[in-house]
Chain A
């Protein structure tokens, strides 16, 4: 009997689910700065510390740049480290993101995705994380609150695995998920701590063995360090499957690197990441009941990109729409669409792919919108050289 049958669902906000999971993961140091819509995570963790429920050290810092710097230093001592941010905060961390991944530190971060200024907006899109897409962080996208809880726990295992040793970021849309209350079936502290374990790190800061970390390299060596990170990303795909398998045995819950709905039969497949996967899946079910034959592929793991799984699921589709909740201004496709197109091209597939931008700055994406996306997929005129800006007011 697994815990699923025993544990009583508890209502949690997306942000609360992160804090609850971190509390149970035997985290040593949290260094974070509050920013909407991530603030609840930091508030909750500070409260847990004040109440003596969480033994980790909470470092209040003066900015996100300092937050990630403190995480870097703490992680170098071998501590288990967590932080959370959003939007401008992630942008301010940008420099340190590369330092953390280059130093191969398994820092875990939650990102309540929010669009970037200007103009100022508090609502969701993925442009914050997409701006740091190439920073060498493992990037996951969640679509519901229980998944946020589960992924937070899994990331410690994934990042700290000796074959990986890369930082990871969990993305979930601000407000839509961060402030959404859903039922979570908690797994219990002891069970979680046993699952995450306590791997021993090498390369620690040690006063008895003074060392320089990330010492200057040269054109003769820098490239090789990047190759090591690329290889670690590659092995993260395999390790992630092991972690998921073990987590499934513990909880009965599994998400995969991708989540496929009817992709083996569908003539039209929509590819999407984040919470709109649920919306578009619901739309697909409605259409399929009415006689259509459509499918949905939700990208759960964005870096490393699960290229083989994506190609396998899309191989037989006649047309593909890739939905991006961010826009690379001036680019021929959104970032997710670029990845899908390149994965298909490398596999020798010439399936037409539409790049569709939606939900920018928190613009709502409803069930009706989901149905319209499938209708657009049939319109060959929509497959342009630039992304289709869905839902913009013309």
Chain B
């Protein structure tokens, strides 16, 4: 964008991070083994992003648009229900 069209001082309305997709940041992606997951939400506590979400039926799932692939959830899951898998 030209400097003439750009707003001054990089002012961004609150909530803009939702629109910012970080999929490309990941090397590995967390994959939940649903047979082991008990929805305890320990991963939700430790996730530094709001990338652990619960879908409409209350099941824990991962928001791959905002997960940066740090792998903390894999380490913190007490049931070893999350595995980091290489992105294709």
Given contacts A215-B10, A221-B6, 19 further A-B pairs with CB under 8 A are A102-B9, A104-B8, A210-B14, A210-B15, A211-B11, A211-B12, A211-B13, A211-B14, A212-B14, A213-B10, A215-B11, A215-B16, A217-B10, A221-B1, A224-B2, A225-B10, A227-B3, A228-B3, A228-B8
CA distance A225 to B10 in the complex (A): 8
| Partner of B10 from A209, A214, A223, A231 at Cβ < 8 Å | A214
In the assembly, what is the distance between CA of A244 and CA of B2, in Å? 33
Q: Contact: A214 with B9, CB < 8 Å?
A: yes
Q: Tell me whether B9 and A225 are in contact (CB under 8 A).
A: yes
**A209 engages B3 (CB within 8 Å):** no
Q: Which 8 A-B pairs have the closest CB atoms?
A: A210-B14, A224-B3, A227-B3, A215-B12, A212-B12, A104-B9, A103-B9, A215-B10
B8 and A212 contacting across the interface, CB-CB below 8 Å = no
Are B13 and A231 touching (Cβ within 8 A)?
Answer: no
Min Cβ gap B66→A in Å is: 15
Residues in B neighbouring A209, C-beta threshold 8 A: 13-14
Contact of A224 with B1 at beta-carbon distance under 8 Å, contacts A210-B14, A211-B13 already known: yes
Shortest A155–chain B CB gap in Å is 20
CA distance A210 to B15 in the complex (A): 9
Q: Output the least CB separation between B3 and chain A (Å).
A: 4
Contacts of B8 in A (CB 8 A): 104, 165, 203, 225, 228
- Please list 16 pairs of residues, one from A and one from B, whose beta carbons are closer than 8 Å in the complex, sorted by A's number: A102-B9, A104-B9, A203-B11, A209-B13, A211-B12, A212-B11, A212-B12, A213-B10, A213-B11, A215-B10, A223-B3, A224-B2, A224-B3, A225-B10, A228-B3, A228-B8
Using CB atoms and an 8 Å cutoff, list the residues of chain B in contact with chain A: 1-3, 6, 8-16
Interface residue ranges of A270-302 to B (CB < 8 Å): none
The minimal Cβ–Cβ distance linking A210 to chain B, given in whole angstroms, is 3
Which A residue sits closest to B8, measured CB to CB? A104
Q: How far is the CB of B20 from chain A (nearest CB, A)?
A: 10
Within A214-271, the residues touching B (CB, 8 Å) are 214-217, 221, 223-225, 227-228, 231
Chain B residue contacts of A217, Cβ below 8 A? 10
Chain B residues near A227 (CB, 8 Å)?
Answer: 3
Residue of B nearest to A228 (CB): B3
Query: CA of A227 to CA of B3 in the docked complex: distance in angstroms?
Result: 7
Bound complex: CA A267 to CA B48 (Å): 69
CB-based nearest B residue for A203: B11
- How many angstroms between the C-alpha atoms of A71 and B6 in the bound complex? 25
A270 to B3, CA, bound (A): 39
The closest CB in chain B to the CB of A165 belongs to B8
Q: Shortest distance in angstroms between B12's beta carbon and chain A's nearest beta carbon?
A: 4
Least CB distance, A169 to chain B, in whole angstroms: 19
Interface residues in A184-206 (C-beta closer than 8 Å to B): 203
Known A-B contacts A227-B3, A228-B3; the reply to A212 vs B16 at CB < 8 A is yes
For the complex, give the distance between the alpha carbons of A227 and B1 in Å. Answer: 12
Q: How far is the CB of A294 from chain B (nearest CB, A)?
A: 44
Whether B6 contacts A225 by the Cβ 8 Å rule is yes
- C-alpha gap A210/B14 in the complex (Å): 5
- Pick the most buried of B9, B12, B14: most chain A CB atoms within 10 A of its CB: B9
**Nearest-neighbor residue (CB-CB) of A225 within chain B:** B10
Q: How far is the CA of A215 from the CA of B20 in the complex (A)?
A: 13
B3 in contact with A231 (CB, 8 Å):
yes
| Chain A residues with CB below 8 A from B13, complex form | 209-212
Closest to A103 in B: B9
Kindly state the separation between the CA atoms of A104 and B8 in the bound complex, as whole angstroms: 8
Which B residues are CB-close (under 8 A) to A212? 10-14, 16
Closest to A214 in B: B10
> Inside 8 A of B15's CB, which chain A residues have their CB?
210
Give complex CA distance A165, B11 in Å. 15
Residues of A within 8 A of B1 (CB): 221, 224
User: Are B6 and A224 in contact, CB atoms less than 8 angstroms apart?
Assistant: yes
Q: Which residue of A lies closest to B14 (CB)?
A: A210
CB distance from A236 to the nearest CB of B (A): 15
Residues of B within 8 A of A223 (CB): 3
In angstroms, Cα B11 to Cα A212, docked, is: 6
